[in-house]
A = this chain, B = another copy of it.
Amino acid sequence: MLTLRTSPASPFGRKVRIAAAELGLEGRIAIERADTGDPADSLRRQNPLGKIPVLLLEDGQAIFDSRVIVEYLDGLAGGGRLIPAELAPRIRALTLQSLADGVADAAILQVYESRMRESAERSAKWVAYQAEKTTRALTALEARPPAARQVDVGAIAIACALGYLDLRFAGEWRSAHPKLVAWLDGFAAAVPAFAATAFAG
């Protein structure tokens, strides 16, 4: 049995859970909640960065971050399933994942701004700097959404980033990005694990 240390709201943990389901590996992975804010949580021994998700193998080896975990699971399932094996499409899918993860990272930094700081320590300039990354990325994705019915690591990562924006920013992104909304609806219809891993907050 593998163990995934994560938390329900994490977009990166969600990416791994969806990948596991798509690869038919769900039954081999126990989910164990981790608290990134608790110094006593064994998470910080498993991943010195104290970040989630982390995948623990039976011999105790810890694999992180989410990108490496997805690659490991894809390999366990035979390879080339969610990450294309051929170089050109592989790099396109991985760059899309990188863009999506960057959107989630920028969103998380905005959430942390209020969660981890006193109000006087908050910087409108920093928050705007992060928000602009999301805005530019969504504009680029709206102009050229992922292919319909594309279920690979790039598409999964985009869906999880958009789901995180829904969770933390009340879906504000939706009104200005109708093509991306339509793409996400199609993705959700094709990938049951997307709805199954939704966190209501």
- Taking beta carbons and an 8 Å cutoff, which residues of A are in contact with B? 44, 47-51, 61-65, 67-68, 71-72, 75-76, 79, 87, 90-92, 94-95, 98-99, 102-103, 106, 112, 116-118, 120-123, 125-126, 129, 132-133, 136-137, 139-140
CA distance in complex: A113, B72 (Å): 35
A136/B94 contact (C-beta < 8 A), A117-B123, A122-B121, A125-B117 known = no
Copies of this polypeptide in the complex: 2
Residues of B within 8 A of A68 (CB): 91, 94-95, 98
- CA of A4 to CA of B112, assembled, Å: 32
The contact of A102 among B49, B112, B126, B136, by CB within 8 Å, is B49
- Which one of B91, B102, B117 lies within 8 Å of A51 (CB-CB)? B102
Contact of B133 with A123 in the complex, beta carbons under 8 Å: no
Q: In whole angstroms, what is the CA distance A102 to B103 when docked? A: 17
Question: How far does the Cβ of A6 sit from chain B's closest Cβ, in whole Å?
Answer: 15
Does B102 lie within 8 Å of A137, measured CB to CB? no
Contacts of A75 in B (CB 8 A): 87, 90-91
Least CB distance, A16 to chain B, in whole angstroms: 13
| Shortest CB distance A145–B (Å) | 14
CB distance from A128 to the nearest CB of B (A): 11
Q: How far is the CB of A111 from chain B (nearest CB, A)?
A: 13
Which residue, of A50, A72, A92, A121, has the highest number of chain B Cβ atoms within 10 A?
A: A121
